[in-house]
Amino acid sequence: MVSQINASHILVKTEQEAKVALTEIMYQNKAFEYVAKEKSICPSKKNGGSLGWFGRGQMVREFETACFNGKKGDVLGPIKTQFGWHLIKIMDVK
């Protein structure tokens, strides 16, 4: 059972912005970290969107549910939370 996730994310204000960012990652072969630095409104953008390691109960429900249902290497989203729209990349699990 997964107890911790290492993830990066891109946070934007609208679903459309999230879809554009996802298109750049999936179809234009831009690195997730590059798009995070370019588009994210979260302070984590300085680190390519890296959130580091976290366990259950540390993130808002929608974000956590997506992360713990994903697997290493997945790019998830767009996912809506109270903060905006997220794309999430699962970097590692343990």
Question: What's the pLDDT score for residue 30?
Answer: 96
Buried/exposed code over 27-48 (b: 16+ C-beta within 10 A; e: otherwise):
eeeeebbebbbebbebebbeeb
Residue pLDDT, tens place only, 40-82: 999 999 999 999 999 999 999 999 999 999 999 999 999 999 9
Does the pLDDT value for residue 84 go beyond 90?
Answer: yes
Question: What's the pLDDT score for residue 72?
Answer: 97
Question: What's the pLDDT score for residue 1?
Answer: 79
Residue 50 structural domain: 4-93
Mean pLDDT of the region 17-37: 97
What pTM did the predictor assign?
Answer: 0.96
Domain count for the chain, please give it: 1
> How far from the centroid of its chain's Cα atoms is residue 11's Cα?
7
Strand partners, 5: 54, 93
CATH code assigned at 68: 3.10.50.40
Residue 44 CB partners (closer than 8 Å, separation 6+): 8, 9, 11, 36, 50, 51
